């Protein structure tokens, strides 16, 4: 799958706009994400922090869980926007791997600049995937 620069930028812009709605009173590190499914639907997410830190949820997982809750499980591209172009945490990488190692991952900064384009496979080498479960 090939994305045009315009498609990439539109997804980054959606994630950056979503980032403005993040709930990050503890880290002060708002994150926005957008996810495009293979059917063309787009879902956004933001990080939602909690005073009980383990209950915090990352933007990427929120976008993925929203998509799954709407019946979408095949993804093309996910974007993650932070002020400095930060990369997804390990937990988010594992959740992304559940739905496809070839999903494109775009990392962008708060100005909307794409700082890295990669895949889930490259972000999480040796990922534990559903195929590895003994049935």
Pairwise CA distance, residues 86 & 72, whole Å: 26
Among 74, 67, 5, residue whose Cα is nearest residue 33: 67
Determine the 3-state secondary structure of 131 from DSSP: helix
Which residue's entry shows tokens 């002020």?
83
Residues tagged active-site: 60
Backbone dihedral angles phi then psi of residue 35, each to the nearest 5 degrees = -135, 125
Gyration radius (Cα) of the chain, Å:
14
């Amino acid at each position: 799958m090939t994305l045009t620069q315009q498609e990439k930028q539109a997804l980054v812009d959606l994630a950056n706009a979503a980032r403005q709605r993040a709930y990050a009173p503890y880290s002060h590190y708002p994150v926005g994400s957008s996810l495009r499914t293979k059917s063309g639907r787009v879902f956004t997410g933001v990080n939602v922090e909690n005073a009980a830190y383990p209950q915090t949820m990352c933007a990427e997982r929120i976008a993925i869980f929203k998509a799954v809750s709407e019946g979408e499980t095949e993804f093309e591209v996910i974007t993650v926007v932070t002020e400095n172009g930060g990369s997804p945490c390990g937990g988010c990488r594992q959740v992304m791997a559940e739905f496809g190692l070839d999903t494109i991952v775009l990392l962008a900064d708060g100005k909307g600049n794409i700082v890295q384009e990669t895949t889930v496979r490259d972000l999480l080498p040796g990922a534990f995937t559903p195929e590895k479960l003994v049935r």
